[in-house]
Chains A and B, each alone.
Chain A
Amino acid sequence: AQSVTQLDSHVSVSEGTPVLLRCNYSSSYSPSLFWYVQHPNKGLQLLLKYTSAATLVKGINGFEAEFKKSETSFHLTKPSAHMSDAAEYFCVVSGGLSGGYNKLIFGAGTRLAVHP
């Protein structure tokens, strides 16, 4: 079975400082991993995805994540936080097929706050 654990429920950073949102996964096979961002009362937007290609994945808005199989981690980073980055972030692992489609399993989420 697949699962995902986001290690921090809340992260607070100052504008211009680095961001690190941690995610560990459990999978019985080579997983697909995603990071989504959700702004208040909005749907989800894909930041980036790992699908067994390059282990360092670059996404939108300056975010990137590194897949580390030995550590079963897929941490999300950004060199310099912006006020607009304040949102809820979800680490997601593919949970196997549901009728031929990818069944997604969501982490609990990390709320990122960015202070001036």
Chain B
Amino acid sequence: GAVVSQHPSRVICKSGTSVKIECRSLDFQATTMFWYRQFPKQSLMLMATSNEGSKATYEQGVEKDKFLINHASLTLSTLTVTSAHPEDSSFYICSVDGRLNTEAFFGQGTRLTVV
């Protein structure tokens, strides 16, 4: 199966700054990647679908100008949290290859803390 590497695993930033999270598919060309957010003791919520070479598709209620997604190559998608606020503190996870009837492969996740 696909190996997905997510970086960084943890980041602490000051309120108002921007943070970039990388998701790499190490052995699979992923035209589509998914970004999820997980609040403490809650489930994963899909934020957006990242499409290689085109604009991301955002789920309802997710601000596209705040959560910038770039999928410039078949192996890399980035999520940038712009002007971060404490309420953006969460666990962010990416996944690749959710083709119908096959499993999705997840990155290790990024714990973002905004202070």
Contact = CB atoms under 8 A, between A and B. Distances in A.
A83 to B, nearest CB: 21
Interface stretch (B12-20, B43-51, B67-75, B80-88): B43-51
Q: How large is the interface on A (under 10, 10 to 19, 20 to 34, 35 or more residues)?
A: 20 to 34
Given A42-B109, A43-B6, A97 B100 contact: yes
Given A34-B103, A44-B106, A94-B100, A101 B44 contact: no
A46 B105 CA distance: 8
Interface of B: 4, 6, 9, 32, 34, 42-46, 49, 51, 57, 91, 93, 95, 97-104, 106-109, 111
Given A44-B93, A99-B32, A100-B32, 17 more contacts: A34-B103, A41-B111, A52-B101, A90-B44, A94-B100, A98-B32, A99-B57, A101-B98, A102-B101, A102-B102, A102-B104, A104-B98, A104-B104, A106-B43, A106-B45, A108-B42, A109-B42
